């Protein structure tokens, strides 16, 4: 019933509540259909709207289209391991408003649970977790010879940035969010850059992201200051697709999704001019987000095939920039910890936590009460430490 329901969500959003199939739906499903948003301002959606939409972003008529990413013909097995008993996990999932939580250690699933009416069969959106996928595609493009060096200027691959504040910015500075270009990432400010740039009308014949970003002024010298900037990840996406001469979703399928043994189809939302929104919005099963963690633990080597340079994750998943938080840092679109762990993180509670020392991956999806300003973030960090301690104690 759940699988059929999710396939009907877009029809419900189009106002088909009078259709014959609607009468047979349960109350929970009717509530989801009724809550679907009719505007594209994701950051301004209500909690019920987000609950409904985050599992159906690629089917909402109010959003742009999405490209599909085909799964592997030989999915990576995730066998059941010794169950991990986590005291207080029910309360944790409730307070996180968790949709999915999958914990894998040594390649075995030690914990898996779902909430908010979601299941292992569904696709939940990633938000900025996609940034870490995008940066990994930079590594693949370097391995394939499409990007020559991280020291190259961004405008070498995106000529429309010539003459802008990005003309002197390197690929490495873009990856580490240290371009020095002014940007406002306040998720609760409707006038911030992050709220406005996806809706801005692009200059004729120009990618929407490039059109917006090329007009921004400089605030600091390139490389001097770390400043979180989703628009720059979108530029990375344009850079990669321009370099490899194919859409990001196809390159993702070729370089990560199929080689890493992803089990389910994924999708990637498109912007106004047809490019994937590289800083956001890969829709995938929670188990496949966990498989991405295993891909990183394997250093990007699958079946003897090295997808990224041998030393890629040694740099990408380690601190490159200080973010002003003790024990934390930023790599190539990855959040780093002083113990060697690393995380991909997205607003409203999406995450992949990877701990090489313990061969541990924690994939989670949620709909937090606020994008990133509520108590859930610190609670999740404490949960990571709790799981680490349980494993160290032989749990």
Provide the residue-wise pLDDT of the chain in tens; the chain has 395 residues: 333 333 444 444 334 344 454 455 467 666 766 788 888 888 889 999 999 999 999 988 888 799 999 999 999 999 999 999 999 999 999 999 999 999 999 999 999 999 999 999 999 999 999 999 999 999 999 999 999 999 999 999 999 999 999 999 999 999 999 999 999 988 888 888 888 887 778 888 888 889 999 999 999 999 999 999 999 999 999 999 999 999 999 999 999 999 999 999 999 999 877 889 999 999 999 999 999 999 999 999 999 999 999 999 999 999 999 999 999 999 999 999 999 999 999 999 999 999 999 999 999 999 999 999 999 999 999 999 999 999 999 98
CA distances from 214 to 11, 38, 189, 232, 301 (A): 38, 30, 22, 11, 36
Residue whose token pair is 């990408």: 316
Return the pLDDT at 20. Answer: 52
Residue whose token pair is 């999704």: 257
Return the pLDDT at 26. Answer: 62
Distance of alpha carbon 74 from alpha carbon 21, whole angstroms: 36
With contact defined as beta carbons under 8 Å apart, do 231 and 193 qualify? Answer: yes
pTM: 0.91
φ, ψ for residue 13, nearest 5 deg: -65, -25
With contact defined as beta carbons under 8 Å apart, do 331 and 319 qualify? Answer: yes
Cα–Cα–Cα angle for 262, 268, 269, rounded to 5 degrees: 165
Distance of alpha carbon 120 from alpha carbon 242, whole angstroms: 34
Query: Which residues, other chains included, contact 370 with Cβ-Cβ below 8 Å and sequence gap of 6+?
Result: 188
Distance of alpha carbon 361 from alpha carbon 290, whole angstroms: 6
What size, in residues, is the chain? Answer: 395
């Amino acid at each position: 019933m759940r699988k059929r329901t999710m396939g009907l969500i877009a029809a419900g959003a189009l106002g088909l509540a009078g259709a014959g199939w609607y009468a047979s739906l349960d109350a929970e499903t009717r509530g989801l259909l009724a809550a679907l948003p009719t505007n594209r301002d994701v950051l301004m959606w209500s909690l019920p709207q987000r609950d409904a939409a985050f599992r159906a972003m690629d089917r909402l008529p109010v959003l742009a289209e999405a490209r599909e990413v085909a799964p592997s013909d030989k999915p990576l097995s995730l066998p059941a391991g010794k169950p991990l008993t986590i005291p207080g996990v029910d309360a944790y999932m409730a307070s996180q408003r968790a949709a999915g939580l999958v914990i894998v250690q040594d390649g075995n699933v030690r914990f898996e649970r779902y909430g908010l009416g979601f299941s292992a069969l569904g696709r939940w959106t990633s938000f900025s977790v996609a940034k870490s996928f995008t940066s990994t595609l930079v590594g693949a493009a370097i391995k394939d010879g499409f990007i020559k060096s991280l020291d190259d200027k961004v405008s070498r691959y995106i000529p429309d940035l010539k003459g802008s504040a990005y003309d002197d910015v390197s690929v490495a500075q873009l990856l580490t969010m240290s371009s020095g270009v002014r940007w406002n990432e306040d998720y609760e400010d409707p006038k911030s850059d992050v709220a406005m740039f996806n809706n801005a009308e692009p200059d004729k014949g120009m990618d929407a992201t490039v059109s917006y970003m090329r007009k921004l002024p400089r605030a600091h010298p390139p490389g001097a200051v770390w400043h979180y900037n989703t628009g720059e990840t979108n530029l990375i996406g344009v850079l990669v697709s321009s370099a490899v001469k194919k859409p990001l979703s196809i390159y993702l399928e070729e370089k990560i999704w199929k080689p890493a043994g992803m089990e389910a189809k994924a999708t990637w939302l498109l912007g106004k001019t047809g490019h994937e929104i590289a800083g956001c919005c890969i829709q995938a099963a929670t188990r496949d987000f966990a498989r991405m963690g295993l891909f990183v633990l394997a250093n990007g080597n699958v079946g003897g095939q090295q997808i990224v340079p041998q030393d890629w994750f040694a740099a990408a998943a380690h601190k490159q920039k200080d973010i002003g938080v003790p024990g934390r840092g930023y790599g190539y679109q990855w959040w780093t910890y002083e113990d060697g762990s690393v995380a991909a993180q997205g607003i409203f509670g999406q995450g992949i936590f990877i701990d090489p020392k313990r061969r541990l991956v924690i994939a989670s999806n949620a709909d937090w009460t606020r994008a990133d300003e509520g108590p859930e973030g610190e609670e999740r960090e404490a949960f990571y430490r709790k799981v680490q301690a349980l494993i160290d104690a032989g749990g």
